[in-house]
Structure 1
């Protein structure tokens, strides 16, 4: 028997290849799915089954593509309101055998109505479950979010409590294999470990330690989770499967002339680091460092957008294109690797973004100029913990929608925790002709390090 993890950085998505003998299965494959067939080939196995723990909201499922590559059957959980056209429905108690390994289906609703977990048994090691693939029901350090059914909020939170009890009944020895790790938008408090035992989770996971069902429900009801607009796109795509993804995802390189011809109405994403963007960037470009694409691209982009990338090199452009494809944005037309000095020498337009430090922000707050606003773009949970008096709040993901509430004639200093998210938000403002915008570098971290007061 073997269990292999495939981790997708950025999304913090975990998928799994399992098997024994010559047969294998995949749990929750990502869209760029050739990796699973390659891993199975190295193991001397063929993939015969693909299992989905639920219909994903945060990424495009690779199940239909992987099925086309391997001929494997896809299995999904029951839901009277959903019809996942590329999958067969499995239910509680269904089981599948791969050599000496048996996989048993468990219905574990709560995060979504169709959520499944899969207990695995190895006949060479007794009758107890050796592990369980928990999807988004149970994570290491946290449990699944239950905010996708607001009209049934209390009921689905109760469903999750019951599902967790079912999983725990497998025994403390069973290893938990979740669908996400730390950094995922699917939970708030995940530990920076990708697997654990049920026994250790029972001791350390605050939500598993809650034995009172009503208290558990009340706790879930007051949680806050962001829902980027692209979640709806993922839910739609993952009913019928997205367009076949061609791998590897390498966009064409453009020279300056081809770039200018292609730009038109395209959305320009500058996927270089924050410092590079601040120093010099192309007019109208959105700052979105490649490692931040999974968290924030879905807030700003439309699936029909034509996208051009500004990148340090071809590898970075390919990485950015792959991140975008995993969340359903296939419109990357090409990339440019500009030498800004060379670009300027060819009369190419460029801009820079001014930055300010702690003393300057403190001075402005003290003088309280009538035409200036400190704009805090951190999340609501962060804001509840600590804030700077006098700052206005708009979450970075909502800046495109809510900037209409702002006066473009005012001066804005944008802050977050360190300066990265504030650079993204500032670039969005500049793109919409907010001309007096700068970035508070260091932001809240620098403010506290300098000893200035914060409030909760």
Structure 2
């Protein structure tokens, strides 16, 4: 049987893990912490996991590699230069790792995303000997971009960007154009320097499309560093957890909270998170909650916004949705929510006065309101608040808007001018989060639940390149 490489996507974090097998044994690359997905896939394929490999110590999620290796008895390959606090098989540049008669790995040092980053070439045995099928590139060579180089500190970003350039060139020189490229990051992950431009790729395609293989080193470094934006605050805790060796996860149901308990937690200033879609949240929700729907990257934004270790209570329509949220949260090191409640907003309220509505609008409504024709039932916009990231703002924004990136908002609520606030982002998801934070602070708020790309065509006056 030919070697088969299967993708295990974690779209909420913009990452991929991989299961490569020859029909009998398999290799797992960069597994997420909820390893049951990988084990179920291996079981369905009828293959035994013999090797688990890490391309690098991850900054955007807690790894499941150590626990997967423990449960399966697989060899656990981690860079020899990473000073981890657990036993592993140290991997170094130039190593060849036999897996089976038809499959092997070659270890290639590709520093840049981290100092000790490794890539793994997957070779398959054929009539002419070993042939490279592809390369697991982690946070090195991605689809149309590379992994960002500032996660270990701004002071290292320039040096690592130069190393990233050299590493990508090394892979391109080492491998044939037809070799597949299998990155871990690049599908919405904040670990990338820019977003991926394709769902799959080869070395040949990257030679044509990827700036790292088209630009000279100095030009690539300048362009890469200039394009970097903020990354989630919880990243500071991921590397520490991965160095120490993550504990097994506990995805069993958490304690249920009744209406009185929810009121107590909200009164104490705790994070009570409503996981329903933003339209359901807007129609009716418990005052004092934050709307972070499961339809978006909930764990990324929640992990970025909270004070690390703060108790979190989850609200959802069903127990299955709470379970989905727990799974997403353990991936970023938020292991056990404090409590949960399911049902609808009316069941969560101890009294009717606790329920609140979030008013919604779109960009045509904003254009009309700015022209003096505010739609009925909405307050005139005294402030237009843009909560997108800095690079998005620089690319174009609503003229006269106030810019406070969503991650900064909890500590900058006082920076939002007085009056009724109309808040927008790129699609409505982040704007709903921001609107709930503003409403909890006593502000009159309208969420613009619309795509930012429609603003100009709707008649909203724009600044910049929008």
Output the TM-score relative to the length of structure 2: 0.89
What SS is found at the alignment partner of 1:208? helix
Cα 1:124/1:275, change in 2 over 3 Å: same
The answer to whether 1:147 aligns with 2:150 is yes
**CA offset at residue 441 of structure 1?**
3.0
**Equivalent position of 1:294 in the other structure:** 299
**Equivalent position of 2:111 in the other structure:** 109
What SS is found at the alignment partner of 2:230? coil
With 98-107 and 10-19 compared, the bigger mean Cα shift is at 10-19
Cα 1:273/1:347, change in 2 over 3 Å: same
Q: Deviations over 1:182-222 (max 9, x none)?
A: 222222220240x3211122122233222x12211221221
What SS is found at the alignment partner of 1:123? strand
Contact 2:346 2:355 in 1 (8 A): no
Contact 2:33 2:64 in 1 (8 A): yes
Contact 1:86 1:240 in 2 (8 A): no
The answer to whether 1:9 aligns with 2:18 is no
**CA offset at residue 241 of structure 1?**
2.2
The answer to whether 1:128 aligns with 2:136 is no
Cα 1:92/1:318, change in 2 over 3 Å: same
1:402 to 408, 412, 417: 412
Q: Deviations over 1:356-377 (max 9, x none)?
A: 444553365457x999221111
2:197 to 175, 184, 191: 191
**CA offset at residue 136 of structure 1?**
0.7
Q: Which stretches in structure 2 are left out of the alignment for 5+ residues?
A: 373-378
**Equivalent position of 1:26 in the other structure:** 28
**Equivalent position of 1:383 in the other structure:** 393
**Equivalent position of 1:373 in the other structure:** 383
Cα 1:345/1:41, change in 2 over 3 Å: closer
The answer to whether 1:273 aligns with 2:281 is no
Contact 1:311 1:337 in 2 (8 A): yes
Cα 1:74/1:449, change in 2 over 3 Å: same
The answer to whether 1:231 aligns with 2:235 is yes
The answer to whether 1:285 aligns with 2:273 is no
Q: Which stretches in structure 1 are left out of the alignment for 5+ residues?
A: none
With 277-286 and 304-313 compared, the bigger mean Cα shift is at 304-313
Cα 1:392/1:66, change in 2 over 3 Å: same
What SS is found at the alignment partner of 2:115? coil
**CA offset at residue 260 of structure 1?**
4.8
Query: 2: CA distance between counterparts of 1:415 and 1:65?
Result: 41
**CA offset at residue 264 of structure 1?**
6.2
What SS is found at the alignment partner of 2:320? helix
Cα 1:370/1:75, change in 2 over 3 Å: same
Query: 1: CA distance between counterparts of 2:11 and 2:195?
Result: 17
Cα 1:167/1:258, change in 2 over 3 Å: same
The answer to whether 1:328 aligns with 2:330 is no
**Equivalent position of 1:98 in the other structure:** 99
Contact 2:363 2:460 in 1 (8 A): no
**CA offset at residue 78 of structure 1?**
4.0
Cα 1:209/1:125, change in 2 over 3 Å: farther
Cα 1:347/1:363, change in 2 over 3 Å: closer
**CA offset at residue 40 of structure 1?**
2.6
What SS is found at the alignment partner of 1:24? strand
Contact 1:418 1:446 in 2 (8 A): no
The answer to whether 1:447 aligns with 2:451 is no
**Equivalent position of 1:314 in the other structure:** 319
Query: 1: CA distance between counterparts of 2:281 and 2:19?
Result: 39
**Equivalent position of 1:45 in the other structure:** 47
Query: 2: CA distance between counterparts of 1:228 and 1:275?
Result: 26
Output the TM-score relative to the length of structure 1: 0.91
